[in-house]
Amino acid sequence: LANKTHRKSNTQIPIGSQQLGSEDLVIFGGPCALESEEQGLASALMLRDLGLEIMRASAFKPRSSPYSFQGLGVDGLHILKRIRERTGVLVETEVMDVRDVETAAELVDVIRIGARNMQNFDLLKEAGLVQTPVILKRGMANTIREFLLATEYILQGNPNVILCERGIRSFETAYRNTLDVGAIAVLKQETHLPVIADPSHSAGNKTLVPALSLAAVAAGADGLLIEVHPDPSVALSDGDQSLYPHQFMNLMGDLRKDASYD
């Protein structure tokens, strides 16, 4: 179902006034985690000022340590909905549990299945039972073929799937994960589905985010998922890789310039 031979034209997914999978470059910016209603609202207003139409912010957090901030859970989904109502900014968030898919699909605009759950087949099937667009992130140790097979589970019932390359595990330790730029090009060749990249979880470090963003767009990415926090120094997760608002603003300017070259 994901293969280009299955469809004549590329799948396009409306995100506000933009079409993901067309010439539009769709940016999902926002904090790693939704930490409070105030932090989420401040983030949404900051993004709206920059012309963004959708905010990422995770209510459920898959943390390596059980002692780290685990997210606001279902309460967070309701907060995200209120933020959307108050600001007009659409919201995107991760789901980790089959029991939360239906609720999340009703309360937010785009749901995300994270790298750690790329082969959680029950979760994939559940995401196939709703029509809300789903960002499926590539597992950090999964091949492109496994990635595409995982999308097939969702595509059984939900055609609105967005693929996200977020970096894979390699021997390199200079950054958190290795952004597989080649995978973006391969996916654009193989599938009609929109392909986005997450330079933040690839880099693990805010200084590398602009370069990886531009590289992903050059390789054909239809959009980017980027962590930006009102104050990364106090972020409850992934502060090191989250951009300060002014850095994010500069990157948006660079991406617009890049887009106007063609």
Cβ neighbour number for residue 74 with a 10 Å cutoff? 15
Q: To which H or E segment does residue 225 belong?
A: strand 223-227
Q: How far apart are CA 129 and CA 145, in angstroms?
A: 23
**Binding partner of residue 35 among ligand PEP, Mn ion, none, CB cut-off 5 to 8 Å per kind:** none
**Binding partner of residue 115 among Mn ion, ligand PEP, none, CB cut-off 5 to 8 Å per kind:** ligand PEP
CB 257 → ligand PEP: shortest distance, Å?
26
CB 227 → Mn ion: shortest distance, Å?
6
Q: Give yes or no for residue 206 binding ligand PEP (CB under 6 A).
A: no
| Residues that contact ligand PEP, how many (by CB under 6 A) | 11
Cβ-proximal residues to 171 (8 Å cutoff; 6+ apart), any chain: none
List helix spans (H) across 128-237. 144-155, 181-190, 199-203, 209-218
**Window 27 to 56, contacts with Mn ion (CB under 5 A):** 32
Q: Give yes or no for residue 229 binding ligand PEP (CB under 6 A).
A: no
Contact 166, 201 (CB under 8 A): yes
Stretch that binds ligand PEP, among 18-26, 47-55, 102-110, 111-119 (CB under 6 A): 111-119
Q: Of 2 and 110, which CB lies nearer to Mn ion in the complex structure?
A: 110
Sign of the Cα torsion 203, 205, 209, 212 reads negative
**Window 122 to 141, contacts with ligand PEP (CB under 6 A):** 137
Q: Give yes or no for residue 114 binding ligand PEP (CB under 6 A).
A: yes
Residues that bind Mn ion (CB under 5 A): 32, 238
